[in-house]
Amino acid sequence: MRVRVRLFAIQRELAGTREVPLELADDATIEDAWQSLVERFPVLAPGRPSVRFARNGDYAAAEEPLADGDELACIPPVSGGAVDGATAREYMERRRILELRGEPFDTGIVAELAGRLATPEDGAVVGFIGQTRASPGTPAPGQEAEAARHSGRSVETLDYEAHETMALRILGDIADEIRERYGVERVAIVHRTGNVPLGEPSVAVVAVSPHRDEAFQAARYAIDETKARAPIWKAEHFADGHVWVGAPARTGPEANGRDD
């Protein structure tokens, strides 16, 4: 069978390509595909402990079987996403706004999103803005040596990269979980992709509900889960190089998730 492997962030840079077609045995698993990939690109092998996989846009275990025509995404540590023009995606179900934006936005996006979501029944609007900072984050596994080379320096700019369709699907899952946990249906999560200068917003979250407790809980859950699970990667750029930052992606909500 034939499958298409997609590479992102540090893996894309190491392999020098975004996509790799593989010919595999009919009974091949995701792990078999990874081993075949490593045979072609041995430089990827050390990253295996922190790699997660997605089959056709959904997180999947390494032992899961593949089928002809599958897309296999190898998910390196996430930042913890959108694109321009006709490829920009916006999902709105039950008054939810989930977007990846390639264009800059400012803190006024909180008012924009609140205006699109709030109804006369809502007494609480909670907004969160995450912006880029000069201090470096935790390097992704395998990036420790490069991070050490830039020790003591300030970040000059950041780049965000995303698996767009999968990221939007996961944001939709997070919105569903917010509705189930807190009864909040009107929520927005908007994430930048591309280059984001220092001090500019990279992510915005807004939760709207009749009461403040639920709105605060929903907003906190939205940003925490987005950073932990969405396939969005961040590179911190210095004067003479860059470092990918983040941790291995969590493939679902925590068993004992935040409820307070």
pLDDT in tens, 45-97: 999 999 999 999 999 999 999 999 999 999 999 886 333 333 333 434 447 99
The answer to whether the beta carbons of residues 174 and 154 sit under 8 Å apart is no
What does the pLDDT read at residue 88? 33
Instruction: Name the nearest CA neighbour of 232 among 219, 244, 218, 214.
Output: 244
Local structure of 165: helix, strand or coil: helix
Cα-based torsion angle of the residue sequence 106, 107, 108, 112 in order, rounded to the nearest 10 degrees: 100
Instruction: Write out pLDDT tens, residues 22-41.
Output: 999 999 999 999 999 999 99
Beta-sheet pairing, 97-101 with 186-192: parallel
- The helix or strand, by DSSP H or E, that contains position 235, with its residue range, turns out to be strand 232-238
CA distance 64 to 33: 11
The answer to whether the beta carbons of residues 210 and 121 sit under 8 Å apart is yes
What does the pLDDT read at residue 254? 79
Strand partners, 189: 98, 205
CA separation, residue 82 to residues 50, 161, 202 (Å): 25, 9, 12
Its pTM stands at 0.82
CA distance 135 to 232: 20
Instruction: Name the nearest CA neighbour of 214 among 222, 226, 202, 225.
Output: 222
pLDDT exceeds 60 at position 259: no
pLDDT bracket for residue 115 (50, 70, 90): very high
Q: What percentage of the chain exceeds 90 in pLDDT? A: 88
CA distance 147 to 124: 42
* Pick from 47-61, 109-123, 177-191, 243-257: least confident: 243-257
What does the pLDDT read at residue 67? 96
For the chain, what is the mean pLDDT? 91
For residue 220, how far is the Cα from the chain centroid? 16
Query: Which whole number is the average pLDDT over 211-231?
Result: 97
- Close Cβ partners of 222 (under 8 Å, ≥ 6 residues apart): 128, 174, 175, 178, 187, 189, 205, 207
What does the pLDDT read at residue 79? 80
Instruction: Write out pLDDT tens, residues 165-200.
Output: 999 999 999 999 999 999 999 999 999 999 999 999
- Close Cβ partners of 149 (under 8 Å, ≥ 6 residues apart): 241
The answer to whether the beta carbons of residues 9 and 161 sit under 8 Å apart is yes
